[in-house]
Amino acid sequence: MFSLLKRFGLASAPMNPRSAADVVCRTREKANTASLSRISELLHSCSSDLERLGVIAYLRDFGGDPRRCQLRSGITEGEIDDALKQLHFSTFWAWLAMPASKQLVDIKLYLQDPEDARLMLNSLVLAGKMAVPPEAQPHEKELFNHQMECIQASLGGSPANRP
């Protein structure tokens, strides 16, 4: 091989074989990217960020959901779990960073179903609590839940239905 490189005027460079850890890390990154891509396609039909957050939380908690089964082709359960965990937390943080005016618009999108709007509004705080990632810090959970309570009250939701 050295003579072939020399023949074409190319200097030989020592080959740095990839470590097993590097290969595993790159493989995991590719699997995670593929998982996130499939999950994003699945969530494309969500009307709002809050709905997306709720669906991600539900998919994390209920492995037997048919929508989760759609993700399994060529991806392990662990890879799906890792991708859902990453997406759940990033979506949660995006919600916390959203200005209150945008949160209000987003929740109004979430509540557009005329038949379920009142029921959904009255259970907004409960839905919010269920959407918080288990990895969230106590102050993050408290901030998120307080935001849900304020938005529910501002939209005329019934405080009697709060858990």
Instruction: Report the domain count for the chain.
Output: 1
In a domain, 9, yes or no: no
* All residues at 6 or more sequence positions from 145 whose CB lies less than 8 Å from its CB, including other chains: 125, 128, 129, 132
Higher pLDDT, 11 or 61: 61
Please tell me the least confidently modeled range out of 25-29, 49-53, 94-98, 156-160: 25-29
In a domain, 77, yes or no: yes
In a domain, 57, yes or no: yes
Question: 9's torsion region: left (phi>0), alpha (psi -120 to 50) or beta?
Answer: left
DSSP letter at 114 equals T
In a domain, 6, yes or no: no
For 5-157, where are the E strands, in sequence order? none
Q: Evaluate whether 83 touches 56 at the Cβ level (below 8 Å).
A: no
In a domain, 100, yes or no: yes
In a domain, 4, yes or no: no
- Which of 91-105, 121-135, 148-162 ranks highest by mean pLDDT? 91-105
Q: What is the pTM of this model?
A: 0.64
Best CA proximity match to 132, nearest among 91, 79, 77, 161: 91
Instruction: Provide the mean pLDDT of the chain.
Output: 74
The boundaries of the domain holding residue 155 are: 20-161
- CA-based angle 97:103:104, to the nearest 5? 155
